[in-house]
Amino acid sequence: MATNAEFVVSRLASVNPATGEVLGELDSAGPAEVGTAVFRARAAQADWNSLGIRNRIRILRRFQQILLARKNDVARRITQEAGKPCVEALLTEVLVVLDAARFLIANSFEILREQKLPHGNLAMKSKAGRILHEPFGVVGIISPWNYPFSIPATEALAALVAGNSVVLKPSELTPLIAMELQNLLREAGVPDDVFQVLPGDGATGAAIIASEINKLIFTGSVATGRRIAQNAAARLLPVVLELGGKDPMIVLEDADVDVASSGAVWGAFMNAGQTCLSVERCYVHQSLYNAFLDACCEKARKLRVGNGMDPGTEIGPMIHERQVRIVELHLEDAKQRGATVLVGGSRLREFGPTFFAPTVLANVDHGMRIMQEETFGPVLPIMPFRDDAEAVRLANDSDFGLAASVWTKDRAHGDRVARRINAGTVMVNDAVSCFSISEAPHGGVKSSGLGRTHGRWGLEEMVRVKYLDSDRIPRMKKIWWFGYGGGFAAEMESFVDLLYSHSLGERIKAVVNSAGALWRRKL
């Protein structure tokens, strides 16, 4: 990482991926700017926390109403910067944030309030216990470009309502919508220093990690996540890491082919496949395989590709040409190893350099990169299986474990298979939409990351748990204090029997034999 003296201020250009138009430019935040922002955030956090959770909820409610009134404008801004169709921006970004606010407004006080903790140990009955939830202080958020509004907003809202201040580094590809989020929060009443956006590239992110933040929430690649975890471990910085997926879809023998194929096409191609929860591997029972392939191909051919600002568009551009090249590399590897491209397979240059045709692949296997590495593009590889056991084995044969889906007419059958899949979330007869269920945790296992966002679990990630214990008899010396004496060990042995023996006779005997401990002389 560059030192302050070495850092040269650079400009970030936000570019519309559909047209190449430069939407705006921002200065990258260097180490000095990051340090100053974190200092201001720390200074402001105490007053923000002192405001109280009920007042922070009121501010969150104002934010929700402001966003609701401007939902279409925010959706259009997302489309201009990220490329996705406006309707997807509305449903997968704005709606998700509105509902996350709804959940936090309704539940934050109950989840974070001070709670009594009962004591089951007889020796501790004289104590009153409390569980307190205290904010970490300054929470750093490093967010990606594929959901530039919903991902940072849902995380920031949870951090803010818990009493933290936030510094956010958005992707260098989508900084403007993060600035819009900042404007909305400030208009709702969040103080300027309590929520700050720090545009920049990887050097800015590294400066945030090295700064005096108290927790980090990161969404991005496995490689970057591993480096962040190593750097954070050096100073025991707590982290939440969401590192992507290679989500499997299992179509069981008793599935409805029409419904499942529509789910596969939407799950693989929405947001041009640039979703960590995308269907990236599809396994279909061999009895349905040919019919399922035909249905997916027919539906993929009907998809309308174009500028996301066009109301008729279903597939917009990919975010950047380097992401397109990853898709092309995976496809070339698959074809060289025997895969067959049934639909698509190439750029749609008549629309522009970042448009890629929705692609359906057959004859794939796990020796191909496209079945092992995150492709993050509009590609649906489909592979047959013989029985449930093979389907589960194939689904679990991955370094990733973010989410999965199972498709069947028999819900009980689907639940049984779902329980055997190693993933943070498994949906039966749907995919991807789990991210919009505000009550549900979002996160994965294996290389898909650590910790959770969303719901109770995401809110609890934003606080430290403190146990407060107060003795009800402050003038009494405790029986376990010094002044043991020769008979103390025997008395305590009897006391243990009193607590845990299943024999009534043994417990009565223990009462007598341990009573002397109450009267012994203590230091």
List pLDDT tens digits, range 13-48. 999 999 999 999 999 999 999 999 999 999 999 999
Nearest to 444 by CA among 397, 399, 400, 396: 400
Average confidence (pLDDT) over 285-314? 98
User: What domains can you pick out in the chain, each with its CATH number?
Assistant: 30-244+456-466 (3.40.605.10), 248-430 (3.40.309.10), 477-518 (no CATH)
pLDDT at 9: 56
CA angle 511, 513, 517 (to 5 degrees): 90
Amino acid making up residue 38: V
Average confidence (pLDDT) over 222-250? 96
Average confidence (pLDDT) over 480-489? 91
Average confidence (pLDDT) over 341-345? 98
Average confidence (pLDDT) over 178-204? 98
| Dihedral Cα 311, 315, 320, 326, nearest 10 deg | 180
Average confidence (pLDDT) over 454-469? 98
DSSP 259-321: HHHHHHHHHHHGGGG--TTS--EEEEETTTHHHHHHHHHHHHHHPPBS-TTSTT-SB---S-H
Q: What 3-state DSSP class applies to 504? A: helix
Cα separation, 171 vs 157, in Å, equals 18
Query: Which H helix or E strand runs over 49?
Result: helix 31-50
Provide the mean pLDDT of the chain.
Answer: 96
Q: 25, 149 in Cβ contact below 8 A? A: no
pLDDT at 25: 96
Token match 């001070």: residue? 114
Nearest to 228 by CA among 202, 253, 199: 202
pLDDT at 486: 87
Cβ-Cβ contacts under 8 Å for 440 (sequence gap 6 or more)? 425, 434, 454, 455
Q: Does residue 5 have a pLDDT over 50?
A: no
pLDDT at 2: 37
pLDDT at 7: 46
pLDDT at 517: 86
Nearest to 245 by CA among 414, 356, 360, 398: 398
Q: Does residue 6 have a pLDDT over 60?
A: no
Q: Does residue 520 have a pLDDT over 90?
A: no
* pLDDT single digits (tens) 83-118: 999 999 999 999 999 999 999 999 999 999 999 999
Average confidence (pLDDT) over 432-439? 97
List residues with catalytic annotation: 242, 276
Nearest to 144 by CA among 255, 219, 232, 235: 219
- The pTM assigned to this predicted structure is 0.95
